[in-house]
Each structure stands twice: as structure tokens, then as C-alpha cells.
């Protein structure tokens, strides 16, 4: 309880701080779609690879020398008017001391894949819009996350920053398009959450070119009609937009109103599903630590079962109070799907790892090596009653919360 209260206090203070500088808005509501954008991704990846570049004016440029095109630029240079797509020689004219870096696309793709896997462990529906853009749907996860999608996305972004040194911004709303617009407004490293029904009011004062699909040419045409702000587009007669722009006119107006809906394009199975818990007060009592492992494993297995998956591998990580990290894993002969099996094995792994008997700062549980769950092997081992009990537990957890009911004790 102390840990939860402390984290809630931290989140509240962060929200108030960012509200004051107009980079974040927190409004509680049942929102199911998020959008995460990696800030100045190529430049951020280069800094992650070489931390000595931090704080320097950087341009990642495609092409030789000044003959290339700006692909990514650090935020201090953006303030000088340098943008992606600008000729590199022009960017150098604006900021002569800027450092030009050649792109390392293999590295960027590798980092992007790892970040995708991390995000995928939080939601069953993920669509990657580009190398640095991710759409998340939380539909069906309302009970799992207690409708607190704002803090889920915050946690994802925090993990991306800690594990990969990549900053990001995010938007949450009821549509993919609106969430993407909100992420642009939130940059850099901000997060905005607008409830359904409030999109029109919130977006109205922002420039129309924030809307996806409105580039330079379309923006100039809209300006001729007196449309420069999103509010202008919201209030324009649909018949006029149709006559000038055809179907595209109606589409961009729906985007301006926050009601443009697009289906998710998702597919593959996540590579891993995991959860870490850092203790505000480091723990040394074995019974308390095992209790935390029990519930942490239960939550991870529940998330896996929500994907209709079974796993062959479980890993346990321990971070001691002096920040030493140890980990160990176990691979089952057959894929498993039962709560109790993973909880028992997590306990065994932890006890084999916990040799120092000093305070524990963090524990982590992850599952991997997934297969689509058929239920046949569980029926063979536990029978119909055991399988039905598992499904009943899943339903109760979805309806009343992860910690309401448990399969057993370890």
C-alpha cells in the first residue's frame, strides 16, 4: 500500500508539473487507443549508441556531406527552424556548427524491434505505423489496467527511456488519428489524454497542419479558404469541403472533429510478456518477497492468457539494493498455460538465485517462447475441471481485477 501511495503521489506531482508548462493534460476517462511516437528517433538512437553526443547539435543526414537531406534533427536545432526533409546544406547555413551524422539503419531497425516487443507485452493489439510510431488499443484490457490507461502508457514510455535511452511522446483518445495529433502537441517527452466528446474543444486552437494528411500543398489550399486552425476546419461547411477537395475534404474534417475512425492492422505474437516491480522500501523478508513474486507472476500469466498463448520459458530477475542484477530462466519441455505451474517455477528460480541475503530493490518476471494456446495439453494433464477453473479465474479477473482471486498459494 505504501508503494502504491508513493507512486500515485509521484504521478500526481509529475502531472501537475507538466500541466503548468502546457505539455500534458490529464482527464480520467475510459479511453482505449494510444499512440507513442519516439522523439527525434534517429538522433536519439545515435545518442543512445554514443552518450558523448548528448547536448550537441545533431543532424542525421542521408547522402554524402552537405548534399544529403535531413532525416532527423535534435530539438535545439528544430528551434532554429531546421526540419526533416530540408537539404543538409541549407541546414548547415542556418546552424553552421551542427554535427552531421550518417544514418545507421540496421541499428535503428534493431532498436525499433526491441521497443515494439516491449510495447507488445502490454497490449494484445499493436500496430506499428512506422519505424518510430506505434498505435495501441486497450480494448478488452479495462479490468486488467482498471481503466488507468494514462499510467500504463506512462509506464511504457518510462521503460523505453530506461532500457533503450529513447525519449518519446504520447497521445491517448478514442481514435487513432486524434491520439497521433495529441502526441505531436505533447512533444517533446509529453503525454496528453483527452476524453471522448472533448476532442473538438481541445483541438480547435491548434494549427491545421497537425492533422495527418495535411501537407504543405493542401495546407496552402485550405489557407486560401481562410482555414488555418483546426477550429476553422471544424466549422467549415462540409458541402464546401466536398466541392473543393472531394471525399478528402470530408475525411480531414472528421479528423479535425476527432471522429475519424480507422481499423487496427495488427498481427504477430509478442516475443515476451513481462513485469517488473521496484520497491519503494527495499525488502529482505523472504515471505514478503515470495508474496510479491506470487502476485507478479499471476499478473504476467493473466496477460499471457489474454493473448490466448502458452509459454515454454520463464525468467526471474533480481536487483539488489546495491544495484547488482542477477537473473535465471527455465524452459519447459512443453508450453504451459496454468497459473500454478508458473508460480511454483518462479519461486524455485528465485530461491536458487537469492544467495546474498541482502535487501532486494526490484524483482521481474517474464514469459517467452510462445505458442497459440489450444488447451489440449492442459486437458490431458489437469482434466476438464482444471481447465474450467482456469477460465473461470480469467473471467473473474477481467471483471473484478487481477488481484481479486488467485489460483492458489506457493
Pairing of strands 24-25, 191-193: parallel
- Extract the runs of DSSP E, i.e. beta strands, from 114-270: 125-130, 133-137, 168-173, 191-193
327 beta partners: 317
Please give the pLDDT value at position 121: 86
Q: How many CB atoms lie within 10 A of CB 83?
A: 11
What's the pLDDT score for residue 242? 95
All domains in the chain, ordered by first residue: 42-104 (3.40.1170.60), 201-257 (1.10.150.20), 272-400 (3.30.1490.100)
Report residue 214 as a C-alpha cell: 495535411
Q: What angle (nearest 5°) sits at the alpha carbon of residue 21, between those of residues 194 and 79?
A: 105
Q: Cis peptide leading into 20, omega within 30 of 0?
A: no
Instruction: Return the SS3 of 230.
Output: helix
CB 108 within 8 A of CB 41: yes
Q: In angstroms, rounded to a whole number, what is the distance separating the alpha carbons of residues 408 and 403?
A: 12
Check residue 31 and give its pLDDT: 56
Per-residue confidence (pLDDT) for residue 186, from 0 to 100: 96
Question: What is the residue-wise DSSP string for 325-386?
Answer: EEEEEEEEEEEE--HHHHHHHHHHHHHHH--S---EEEEEEEEEEEEE--SHHHHHHHHHHH
Instruction: Please state, in angstroms and rounded to a whole number, the distance separating the CA atoms of residues 363 and 354.
Output: 11
Tens place of pLDDT per residue across the chain (410 aa): 444 443 343 334 344 334 333 334 443 445 579 999 999 999 999 999 999 999 999 999 886 666 788 999 999 899 899 988 888 999 999 999 999 999 898 899 899 989 998 998 888 788 888 889 999 988 877 777 887 899 999 999 999 999 999 999 999 999 999 999 999 999 999 999 999 999 999 999 999 999 998 988 899 999 999 999 999 999 999 999 999 999 999 999 999 999 998 888 766 677 888 888 888 788 999 999 999 999 899 889 988 887 778 999 999 999 998 888 999 999 998 899 888 899 999 999 999 999 888 899 999 999 999 887 765 444 444 444 455 555 565 655 555 555 544 455 54
Nearest-10 Cα torsion for 260, 265, 269, 275: -20
pLDDT attached to residue 341: 92
What lies within 8 Å, CB to CB, of 302 at 6+ separation is: 144, 339, 394, 397, 402
Cα 50 to Cα 24, 31, 54, 105, 279: the distances in Å are 30, 38, 8, 15, 31
Nearest Cα residue to 205 out of 177, 180, 184, 230? 230
Q: For the purposes of burial, counting CB atoms within 10 Å of the CB of 353, is it exposed (0-12), middle (13-18) or buried (19 or more)?
A: middle
DSSP-derived secondary structure for 45-104: HHHHH-GGGTTS-EEEEESSGGGSEEEEE-HHHHTTT--TTSBHHHHHHH-TTPEEE---
Considering the entire predicted model, what is its pTM? 0.67
Amino acid at each position: 500500500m505504501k508503494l502504491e501511495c508513493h507512486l500515485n503521489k509521484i504521478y500526481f506531482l509529475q502531472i501537475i508539473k507538466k500541466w503548468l508548462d502546457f505539455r500534458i493534460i490529464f482527464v480520467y476517462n475510459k479511453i482505449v487507443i494510444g499512440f507513442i511516437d519516439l522523439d527525434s528517433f534517429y538522433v536519439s538512437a545515435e545518442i543512445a549508441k554514443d552518450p558523448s553526443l548528448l547536448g550537441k547539435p545533431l543532424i542525421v543526414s542521408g547522402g554524402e556531406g552537405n548534399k544529403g537531406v535531413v532525416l532527423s534533427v535534435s530539438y535545439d536545432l528544430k528551434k532554429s527552424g531546421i526540419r526533416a526533409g530540408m537539404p543538409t546544406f541549407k541546414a548547415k547555413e542556418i546552424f553552421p556548427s551542427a554535427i552531421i551524422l550518417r544514418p545507421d539503419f540496421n541499428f535503428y531497425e534493431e532498436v525499433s524491434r526491441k521497443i515494439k516487443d516491449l510495447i507488445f507485452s502490454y497490449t494484445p493489439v499493436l500496430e506499428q505505423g512506422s519505424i518510430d510510431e506505434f498505435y495501441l488499443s486497450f480494448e478488452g484490457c479495462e479490468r486488467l489496467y482498471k481503466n488507468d490507461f494514462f499510467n500504463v502508457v506512462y509506464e511504457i514510455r518510462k521503460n523505453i527511456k530506461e532500457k533503450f535511452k529513447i525519449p518519446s511522446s504520447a497521445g491517448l483518445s478514442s481514435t487513432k488519428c486524434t491520439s497521433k495529433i495529441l502526441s505531436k502537441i505533447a512533444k517533446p517527452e509529453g503525454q496528453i489524454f483527452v476524453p471522448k466528446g472533448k476532442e473538438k474543444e481541445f483541438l480547435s486552437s491548434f494549427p491545421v497542419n497537425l492533422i495527418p494528411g495535411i501537407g504543405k500543398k493542401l495546407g496552402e489550399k485550405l489557407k486560401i479558404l481562410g482555414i488555418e486552425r483546426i477550429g476553422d476546419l471544424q466549422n467549415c461547411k462540409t458541402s464546401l469541403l466536398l466541392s473543393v477537395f472531394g471525399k478528402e475534404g470530408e475525411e480531414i474534417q472528421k479528423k479535425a472533429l476527432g471522429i475519424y475512425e480507422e481499423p487496427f492492422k495488427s498481427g504477430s505474437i509478442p516475443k515476451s510478456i513481462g513485469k517488473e516491480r521496484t520497491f519503494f522500501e527495499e525488502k529482505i523478508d523472504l515471505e514478503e518477497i515470495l508474496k510479491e513474486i506470487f502476485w507478479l507472476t499471476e499478473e504476467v500469466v493473466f496477460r499471457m492468457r489474454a493473448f490466448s498463448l502458452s509459454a515454454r520459458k520463464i525468467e526471474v530477475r533480481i536487483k539488489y539494493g546495491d544495484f547488482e542484477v542477477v537473473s535465471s530462466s527455465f524452459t519447459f519441455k512443453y508450453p504451459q498455460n496454468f497459473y500454478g505451474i508458473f508460480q511454483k517455477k518462479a519461486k524455485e528460480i528465485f530461491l536458487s538465485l537469492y544467495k546474498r541475503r541482502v535487501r532486494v530493490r526490484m524483482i521481474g518476471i517474464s514469459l517467452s517462447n510462445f505458442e497459440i494456446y489450444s488447451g489440449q495439453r492442459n486437458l490431458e494433464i489437469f482434466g476438464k475441471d482444471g481447465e474450467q477453473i482456469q477460465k473461470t479465474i480469467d473471467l473473474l479477473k477481467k471483471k473484478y481485477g487481477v488481484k481479486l482471486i488467485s489460483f492458489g498459494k506457493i
